[in-house]
Structure 1
Amino acid sequence: MDVPQITRQTTPHRAVRREIATERGRFAALDTAPDGDAGMIVLLVPGYTGSKEDFAPLLNLLADAGPRVVAIDQRGQYQSPGTDDPGAYTVHELGADLVAVARTLGPSVHLVGHSFGGLVARAAVLADPSAFASLTLMSSGPGELPAGPRRAVIEAAEPHLHDMGLERIYDAGQQALAKDPTWQPAPEPLRSFLRQRFVSGSAHALQHMGRTMLTEPDRVADLRATGVPTLVVYGRDDNAWSPEAQSDMALRLGAREVIIDDALHSPAIENPPATARALLAFWETAPPAS
């Protein structure tokens, strides 16, 4: 894979850390053109337990081709403020956040959602298709997360998010992983970043975003009806939603489909050059939304 384990979310880039103020609140962002001097605008949305830094290896690769690239933390993730209100974390409310951010950035935004962020990005497009020039579903699926290790982790953690606290949950998870003889802990400074990111988030956000991951219905037909050009891109060995499920979703959407070699569930980190090429080619040729 193209990005060494030692960098990943800590990959150097030239994006500026800032906050984007909207009518729905403030969102922490990495912005490659904070003065807004680029024509094409790209908005990158992370997945469950993720953050804007999940796109760090892509930022320079995409910006070098001309777009203004903005990656955000969703409400309650890492450096974006959260709330104790469960209703603030429904896929519809989080999608409304993305519409507000997009409207703040410019008239027509290319939206990319990774994993859970893809479910939220889909909700945003369904709520206001006119806000978006295109949608990319990256390692995301047609509905709820299928049975498997990732779903099991969410189900196991949910009852303990508040009584144990995020610090103890994270450390317990690392201890469990260490029992696997094939597991390799992240080196510094990545190790410290990953822990700090997790414990800085909102337990309420993790709880209610997690429930969405386990309950979201299939809304593929609704998305296709919007007419917004869509790309489905995923790692050849994705271990969340299966490659077969994502390929079927692309077929039902009438969407372009790109499979990233040497990648699992996070192609932006695992093979950023191929992922950047797929995104740029799609944005260059995507027809205007109907």
Structure 2
Amino acid sequence: MSTEPVYTPPPGSRACQLRTDRGAFAVVDCPVAPGVRPRGVALMLPGFTGSKEDFTLMQGPLAERGYRTVAVDGRGQHESDGPELDESAYERGELARDVLAQAAALGPLDTPLHLFGHSLGGQIARAAVLLDHTPFRSLTLMASGPAQISDSQQQRVKLLRDALAVMTMAETWEAILAMGPPEEVGGPARGIGGQELLRRRWMGTKPAQLLATGRQLCAEPDRVDELAALPLPFHVLSGASDDTWPVSVLDDMAVRLHAHRTVIPGAEHSPNADQPLPTARATADFWDRVDDAL
């Protein structure tokens, strides 16, 4: 039996339920570090096959910079409940309204609330601010592109959808492991906590959530011009390489958004896992500039 720890939460944080008018969502809530002046709050949305734990290595450094961070499992994702088979519950608009409900549950409107989304989470965050941008001080899109994912990643999602059409989640997981590294054959991307956590969150995630959001990633329209029209500061952050959206595509999106642009050396599609300290530093620097400009 493996002795590898499943997951070590950030210091001072607590795993709890965030109760909203659209139901309860599992979160890791990491407060500002003791003795540090509070600067704001951030709501952090994970990517496809991801979970709230993906932000673990960023949350401590952000707490030291004065930011409370609330990393969330979306509807039907890991430890947040949702329908097993009803894909309509995971339509993009439904997930966007969940984010607005989460924002409303986090506290008074006079507390600066920054929205941060990774990959799929970035596209859900975009949909949320297009419904209502007023709860948010800024939007950071990390490794999250303007439209559908790359052809190679669409093939990865198709592998997953085909498997789930004929197998249970447990059977699909075993098939993925037999074929190779999970992130290369349709399974969860490499993440924090080791394979045991990857399997736990895979088994906790609802099949309908994976099917619906995978379909969305393969058909997402370009909504950058709509987003650019909003009076929000934007930050486009990525690794130096990315096979889900090419870095050149993210560069172009940043120009169209008039966004602050950060490229993290030594990182790929998950800068939060590959280079968490530089990623946290760049994120806090952006939030500081946004708040200092007001």
Structure 1 counterpart of 2:22, which letter?
Answer: R
Aligned-partner Cα distance in 2 for 1:11–1:189:
8
Counterpart residue number, 2:252? 248
Counterpart residue number, 1:46? 46
Secondary structure in structure 2 of the residue aligned to 1:112: strand
Aligned-partner Cα distance in 2 for 1:41–1:178:
35
Secondary structure in structure 2 of the residue aligned to 1:246: helix
Aligned-partner Cα distance in 2 for 1:189–1:116:
20
> What do the CA deviations read for 1:163-218 (whole angstroms, capped 9, x no partner)?
301111112112111699xxxxx899622111111011100000001011011100
Structure 2 counterpart of 1:252, which letter?
Answer: R
Change (3 A) 1:236 1:165: same
Aligned-partner Cα distance in 2 for 1:91–1:211:
11
Percent identical residues: 37
Report how far residue 109 of structure 1 moved. Answer: 1.4
Change (3 A) 1:178 1:243: closer
Change (3 A) 1:238 1:54: same
Counterpart residue number, 1:128? 132
Residue of structure 2 aligned with 1:213, choices 213, 217, 225: 217
Structure 2 counterpart of 1:101, which letter?
Answer: Q
Check conservation: 2:30, 2:69, Cα contact below 8 A. yes
Please say if 1:197 is aligned against 2:212. no
Between 1:106-115 and 1:155-164, the stretch displaced more is 155-164
TM-score by length of 1: 0.89
Change (3 A) 1:11 1:250: farther
Aligned-partner Cα distance in 2 for 1:31–1:188:
17
Please say if 1:82 is aligned against 2:82. yes
Structure 2 counterpart of 1:13, which letter?
Answer: P
Counterpart residue number, 2:7? 10
Q: How does 1:52-63 map to 2 (within 5 A)?
A: 52-63=52-63
TM-score by length of 2: 0.88
**Number of residue pairs matched by the alignment:** 276
Aligned-partner Cα distance in 2 for 1:29–1:145:
27
Residue of structure 2 aligned with 1:224, choices 223, 228, 233: 228
Report how far residue 153 of structure 1 moved. Answer: 1.3
Unpaired runs of 5+ residues, structure 2, are: 185-189
Counterpart residue number, 1:110? 114
Aligned-partner Cα distance in 2 for 1:189–1:114:
18
Counterpart residue number, 1:27? 25
Between 1:168-177 and 1:238-247, the stretch displaced more is 168-177
Counterpart residue number, 1:99? 100
Report how far residue 159 of structure 1 moved. Answer: 2.9
Aligned-partner Cα distance in 1 for 2:242–2:289:
26
Aligned-partner Cα distance in 1 for 2:86–2:132:
24
Structure 2 counterpart of 1:66, which letter?
Answer: G
Check conservation: 2:133, 2:230, Cα contact below 8 A. yes
Structure 2 counterpart of 1:50, which letter?
Answer: G
> What do the CA deviations read for 1:1-23 (whole angstroms, capped 9, x no partner)?
xxxxx78x835412100000111
Report how far residue 85 of structure 1 moved. Answer: 2.7
Report how far residue 161 of structure 1 moved. Answer: 1.4
Unpaired runs of 5+ residues, structure 1, are: 1-5, 181-185
Secondary structure in structure 1 of the residue aligned to 2:161: helix
Aligned-partner Cα distance in 2 for 1:260–1:223:
24
Change (3 A) 1:163 1:73: same
Counterpart residue number, 1:3? none
Check conservation: 2:146, 2:250, Cα contact below 8 A. yes
Aligned-partner Cα distance in 1 for 2:232–2:262:
17
> What do the CA deviations read for 1:123-162 (whole angstroms, capped 9, x no partner)?
01111110110000000000111211x2211112213314
Quote the RMSD (CA, aligned, Å).
Answer: 2.4
Report how far residue 239 of structure 1 moved. Answer: 1.7
Structure 2 counterpart of 1:45, which letter?
Answer: L
Check conservation: 1:118, 1:140, Cα contact below 8 A. yes
Counterpart residue number, 1:141? 145
Aligned-partner Cα distance in 2 for 1:262–1:194:
23
Secondary structure in structure 2 of the residue aligned to 1:194: helix
Aligned-partner Cα distance in 2 for 1:54–1:127:
26
Q: How does 1:157-176 map to 2 (within 5 A)?
A: 157-176=160-179
Check conservation: 2:262, 2:282, Cα contact below 8 A. yes
Report how far residue 288 of structure 1 moved. Answer: 8.8
